[in-house]
Every structure is written in C-alpha cells, then in structure tokens.
Amino acid sequence: MKKFTVLILILAITGCAGTNIISKKFKPENIVHYSQLDKLESIPELNNHVVYLNKGDIFPLELSLDTNIVGIEEQKIDVAAKQRLFFMLKMPENLSKEELAELESLNKEKLSEMSESDKRKLFEKFMLYISKDAVAWAPVSDIKSIKKVFGSKGGAVSFGMGMSSKKGIWSRLSVKEVK
C-alpha cells in the first residue's frame, strides 16, 4: 500500500503538470550565438552547447500550404526575435556506435548533399528545445510547455478574407499572444 501511495504521489507531482519542461544549465563558454555554429567540430558537440538569437536577429520561416483550393506562392518570410532566445538540441541517448560514427563524420558538405527525407530520417530522434533563460527548456513541439516557460497565458489566431474594388481579393492571418 505504501508503494502505491508513493507512486500516486510521484504521478501527481510529475504527471499533473502536463508539460515536458526540463531544467538544464550550461557553462557560459558552451552558449554560442547562432553565427558561431561553424566553429563546432561535429553534430554531437551540439548536445553540449546552447545556441541563441539576440533580440532583433532575423531567421527564415518556411510556410507550407498546398490544398486543392489554395497554396502559398512565397514560402519563406523573415521572422525577427523580440527577445533573446536559446535553443538546445537533445540527442537520443541510445544511439548505436554506427549511428554515432555517422553523426561524427557528418559535415556541411555531406549534409548539403543529403535529400530532405534522409535528413528527416537522420534527425527524427532528436529533440529541439527553446528557452528564455538557458535553464528552463520546453520542446518546440509542445505549446503548453512553451507557454509555461515564456509566461504566456494564451493567444488568438484569426484568419480573414475579404474583397474590394481597390485591393481585389485579400486574406490576412493574425497571431496575437496574451500575457
């Protein structure tokens, strides 16, 4: 009965939070600006480093929309960071010797020669995390955890379309965060 009570207590503490936030600190010398990524010798080194963007740094966002009704013509836009953002790559812990050797031998040239499907297959076991302080980390695929790490209460997404004689047919996508 005591084991069952302890198990329920552990589940209540860890399971009810409903997030995948992890806490991990890095040495200052292992926190590098994204422009310094070239200085890292190999991909496995990323497991011990944090990459950051400063407020105002711009990075590309690729959009994809391909339906029977509409598609996106210009697929890339620039996104600007509004605060310092930290990114951490977590490698799988159970890599075979062959997989680890393949990663260690991977360089920019080999990576650029790989097909998109091969890249996806290679990195599908990796997890990318985001943080505002390089201590509390949320997986980029977990919106609940990101909201907790960044202190967001929610937001709104709206999509609208209209038509006028001056503009013709237009559409608008708006995403607004609530703090």
DSSP codes of every residue in the chain: -HHHHHHHHHHHHHHTT----EE----GGGEEEGGGGGG--SGGGGGG-EEEE-TT-EEEEE---B-SS-B-S--EEEEE-SS-EEEEEE--TT--HHHHHHHHH--HHHHHHS-HHHHHHHHTT-EEEEESSSSEEEETT-HHHHHHHHT--EEEEEEEEEEETTTEEEEEEEEEEE-
The stretch 92-103 carries a mean pLDDT of 74
Strands 31-33 and 50-53: parallel
The pair of three-digit structure tokens given for residue 89, joined into one six-digit string: 């790559």
The stretch 83-102 carries a mean pLDDT of 81
Name residue 140's amino acid: V
Residue 142: phi and psi, rounded to 5, are -120, 95
Rounded CA Rg of the chain: 21
- For the ranges 5-14, 37-46, 76-85, 101-110, the lowest mean pLDDT is seen at 5-14
Tell me: pLDDT of 3 over 80.
Answer: no
Q: What is the pLDDT of residue 44?
A: 59
Among 13, 23, 14, 17, smallest CA distance to 129 is for 23
Q: What is the pLDDT of residue 139?
A: 92
Higher pLDDT, 162 or 6: 162
The pair of three-digit structure tokens given for residue 74, joined into one six-digit string: 């210009």
| Cβ count within 10 A of residue 120 | 10
For the entire predicted model, the pTM comes to: 0.69
Among 127, 125, 126, 123, smallest CA distance to 20 is for 127
Tell me: pLDDT of 74 over 80.
Answer: no
Contact 163, 170 (CB under 8 A): yes
Q: Whole-number mean pLDDT of the chain?
A: 79
Tell me: pLDDT of 2 over 60.
Answer: no
